[in-house]
């Protein structure tokens, strides 16, 4: 280290700095950075941030759950977890309330860039340069302005060795960083293994480790081979476990392990765990995940060509539904058990409680590869038996019928709104139901129906009695919070609710059904910038639904001013009458808040 470098680090003393920190300081000094100067707060524009996030959309879907898990695992408070792209730009971050109040929170947020040549020595910039885990504590930062925070950063590698992102955890509390480092490294490894699995679905993946019990952990070695036995990808654990063996893309199986690739492939395909030896003779336990077929074989399927507007073939949604409420789970278990025994099921509930969605779940669990046909009974009454109309006949819906619905393999018939058929089941539909009863006994068809607020323990439809299961109203669901977070994640990966906003949403008197909730979240995402949605953001949306709420005298009569007045008053109440806090959340002066709360 030269004399200039030594004077620059004089506030710590050269012997106090680890070798990696000294190397980083020297790089910064050679770039002409001055540790006593104020660092540049480098931020990209909102448009550039959106483009960067869009470019990494699939990666962020994998990263976000790990980021949330990491944030919950870090002990104590006062921390931020963040993910940056390979250019050092933070794309996503989660910070707790205490860290958010700190001055450094304004610099560690999405859109900020943390390369060494801009921000000096910092964990994210060092990890980007070295490709290894980096930890920078307090005064080890190059710029004195950053000395109040300690950070750990771990690069995330793709299976070809490229850095595709960086996972960082920072805190003003220095003591917990050693523990935090282990958590960040584990989260980064989880992300890498997820990326590995998605990138090599069409390859043969070998899982190996010297100890058999480690084959189900995140420290297992992973190597992907193509059909010719050439390496197409590997994770960092594989490099460590095969130390001394030359590993690189394109290497053949025989260059790494003893034995012929196709012989090993055939031997291990039929067993859970096998044994392998690497080229140096080290014994390993291994498992093989064979490649998925390159082409999907076409099964025997029949298409639906019904002519009636009230009959359609449903394509069940692939999204994961939230079914954590006790009553919802009980209804699902009961309905599935009944349907498997050939018992028709009626799903009851108010409008927007998820009756059709639950029917799709039942269908997927019992007949996942068979068709699902929905009949809107409210329109079917008018359509069935109407000569010359665009309706249907009973025979058109029968399995094996002649009007385009030949489902020899069976499936699910969903009758929506069967309350319209009470006491007025058309003869054609009556014959259809009788035929369906025979098909259900054979296990080829299941019959589901939806009814709104039906009364009584059972529902009778034509020749059949339906087992009734119930869905609760939205306001009574115990999984409301998880439901909201799931919906918001579908709408936007850029928004998330604070705990305070979730409490306001859960206590809102307007919540009536899932459709209403979805609409309100749409409005919230549309109106709010990316980031954490707080009580003030939510109050502005809820105010639109409560036009009768009082406003101050000077705002009455002007719709825009009335809306803003209601938002200020709601925020004031949510802040327990704290004018300063309400003003800070709204981004206005305290005098503005006072002007609207005085009657």
CB 476 within 8 A of CB 354: no
- What is the average per-residue pLDDT within 333-346? 87
Q: How many CB atoms lie within 10 A of CB 17?
A: 18
At 131, the pLDDT band (50, 70, 90 cuts) reads very high
Confidence of residue 256 (pLDDT cuts 50, 70, 90): very high
Strand 221-225 vs strand 274-277: parallel, antiparallel, or unpaired? Answer: unpaired
> Backbone phi, then psi, for 415, in 5-degree steps?
-100, 110
pLDDT at residue 231 in the model: 94
Concatenated DSSP letters for 440-486? HHTTSEEEEEEESS--SSEEEETTEEEEEEE---GGG-TTHHHHHHH
Residue 578 has pLDDT above 90, yes or no: no
Q: 377 or 246, which is more confident?
A: 246
Tell me which range, 125-134, 405-414, 434-443, 499-508, is most confidently predicted by mean pLDDT.
Answer: 125-134
Q: Which of 162, 180, 147 has its CA nearest to residue 72?
A: 180
DSSP secondary structure string, 141-210?
SSSGGGTT-EEEEEEEE-TTS-EEEEEEEEES-STTHHHHHHHHHHHHHHHHHHHHHHHTTTSEEEEEES
The yes-or-no verdict on residue 435 having pLDDT over 70 is: no
CA–CA gap between residue 462 and residue 424 (Å, rounded):
9
* pLDDT of amino acid 149: 86
Mean pLDDT, rounded, for 445-470: 72
pTM of the model: 0.49
Report, as an integer, the average pLDDT of 353-365: 87
Q: Is the pLDDT score of 122 beyond 90?
A: yes
The owner of tokens 């869905």 is 471
Give the mean pLDDT of 339-354. Answer: 84
Which band of pLDDT confidence, cut at 50, 70 and 90, is reported for residue 168?
very high
User: Residue 544: what pLDDT?
Assistant: 47
Q: Of residues 391 and 574, which shows the higher confidence score?
A: 574
Average pLDDT of the segment spanning 371-395: 48
Between 223 and 344, where is the model more confident?
223
63 burial type by CB count under 10 A (0-12 exposed, 13-18 middle, 19+ buried):
buried
Whole-number pLDDT of residue 329: 87
Q: What are phi and psi of 187, to 5 degrees?
A: -65, -40
Q: What is the pLDDT of residue 305?
A: 33
Residue 323 vs residue 406, higher pLDDT? 323
Average pLDDT of the residues in 159-183: 84
pLDDT band at 113 (very low <50, low <70, confident <90, very high): very high
Helix (H, G, I), strand (E, B) or coil at 575: coil
State the Cα–Cα distance between residues 96 and 22, nearest whole angstrom: 31
Percent of the chain at pLDDT > 90 equals: 20
Dihedral through CA 212, CA 217, CA 221, CA 227, nearest 10?
90
35, 88, 120, 123 from 38: Cα distances, Å: 8, 20, 11, 18
pLDDT value of residue 409: 58
The pLDDT of residue 566 is 80
Q: Residue 232 above 60 pLDDT?
A: yes
For 151-160, 310-319, 518-527, which range has the lowest pLDDT when averaged over its residues? Answer: 310-319
Q: State residue 407's pLDDT score.
A: 45
pLDDT higher than threshold 70 for residue 551:
yes
| Of residues 217 and 178, more confidently modeled | 217
What does the mean pLDDT of the chain come to? 77
**In which band, very low, low, confident or very high, does the pLDDT at 462 lie, cut at 50, 70 and 90?**
low
Distances (CA, A) of 354 to 281, 470, 522: 59, 11, 18
pLDDT tier, 198 (very low <50, low <70, confident <90, very high otherwise): confident
Least trusted range by pLDDT, from 1-15, 51-65, 123-137, 201-215: 1-15
Interval 294-332: pLDDT, tens: 444 443 333 333 333 344 445 545 455 788 888 888 889
Q: In this model, does residue 509 exceed pLDDT 70?
A: no
Tell me if residue 390 falls in helix, strand or coil.
Answer: coil
As a whole number, mean pLDDT of residues 564-579 equals 76
pLDDT at 181: 87
């Amino acid at each position: 280290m030269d004399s200039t470098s030594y004077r620059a680090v004089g506030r710590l003393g050269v012997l106090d700095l680890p070798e990696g920190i000294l190397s980083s300081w020297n790089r910064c000094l050679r770039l002409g950075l001055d540790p006593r100067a104020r660092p540049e707060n480098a931020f990209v524009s909102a448009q550039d941030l959106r483009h960067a996030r869009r470019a990494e959309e699939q990666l962020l879907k994998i990263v976000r759950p790990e980021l949330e898990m990491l944030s919950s695992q870090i002990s104590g408070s006062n921390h931020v977890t963040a993910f940056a792209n390979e250019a050092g730009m933070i794309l996503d971050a989660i910070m707790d309330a205490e860290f958010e109040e700190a001055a450094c929170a304004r610099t560690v947020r999405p859109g900020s860039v943390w390369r060494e040549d801009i921000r000096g020595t910092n964990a994210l910039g060092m990890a980007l340069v070295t490709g290894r885990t980096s930890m920078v504590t307090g005064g080890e930062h190059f710029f004195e302005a950053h000395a109040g925070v300690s950070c750990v950063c771990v690069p995330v590698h793709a299976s070809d060795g490229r850095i595709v992102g960086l996972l960082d955890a920072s805190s003003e509390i220095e003591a917990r960083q050693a523990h935090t480092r282990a958590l960040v490294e584990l989260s980064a490894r989880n992300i890498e293994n997820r990326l590995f699995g998605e990138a090599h679905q069409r390859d043969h993946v070998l899982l190996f480790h010297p100890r058999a019990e480690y084959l189900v952990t995140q420290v297992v070695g992973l190597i992907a081979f193509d059909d010719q036995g050439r390496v197409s990808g590997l994770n960092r654990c594989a490099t460590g476990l095969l130390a001394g063996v030359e590993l690189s893309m394109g290497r053949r199986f025989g260059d790494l392990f003893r034995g012929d690739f196709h012989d090993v492939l055939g031997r291990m395909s039929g067993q859970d765990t096998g044994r392998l030896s690497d080229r140096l003779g080290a014994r390993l336990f291994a498992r093989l995940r064979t490649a998925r077929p390159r082409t999907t074989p076409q099964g025997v399927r029949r298409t639906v060509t019904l002519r009636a507007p009230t009959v359609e073939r449903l394509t069940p949604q692939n999204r994961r539904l939230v079914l954590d409420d006790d009553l919802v789970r009980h209804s699902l278990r009961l309905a599935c058990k009944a349907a498997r025994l050939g018992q028709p099921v009626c799903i009851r509930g108010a409008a927007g409680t998820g009756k059709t969605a639950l029917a799709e779940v039942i269908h997927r669990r019992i007949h996942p590869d068979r068709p699902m046909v929905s009949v809107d009974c409210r329109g079917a009454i008018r359509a069935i038996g109407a000569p010359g109309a665009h309706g249907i006949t009973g025979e058109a819906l029968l399995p094996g019928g002649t009007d385009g619905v030949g489902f020899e393999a069976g499936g699910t018939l969903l009758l929506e709104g069967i309350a319209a058929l009470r006491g007025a089941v058309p003869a054609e539909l009556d014959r259809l139901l009788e035929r369906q009863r025979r098909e259900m006994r054979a296990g080829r068809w299941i019959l589901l129906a939806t009814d709104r607020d039906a009364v009584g323990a059972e529902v009778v439809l034509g020749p059949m009695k339906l087992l009734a299961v119930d869905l609760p109203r939205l306001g009574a669901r115990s999984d409301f919070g998880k439901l909201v977070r799931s919906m918001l994640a579908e709408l936007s990966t850029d928004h998330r609710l604070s705990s305070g906003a979730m409490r306001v949403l859960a206590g809102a008197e307007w919540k009536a059904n899932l459709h209403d909730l979805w609409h309100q979240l749409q409005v919230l995402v549309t109106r709010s910038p990316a980031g954490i949605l707080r009580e003030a953001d939510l109050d502005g949306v809820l105010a639109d639904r409560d036009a009768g709420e009082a406003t101050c005298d000077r705002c009455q009569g002007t719709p825009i001013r009335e809306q803003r007045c209601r938002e200020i008053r709601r925020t004031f109440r949510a802040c327990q009458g704290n004018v300063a806090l309400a003003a800070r959340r709204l981004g206005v002066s305290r005098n503005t808040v006072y002007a609207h709360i005085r009657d």
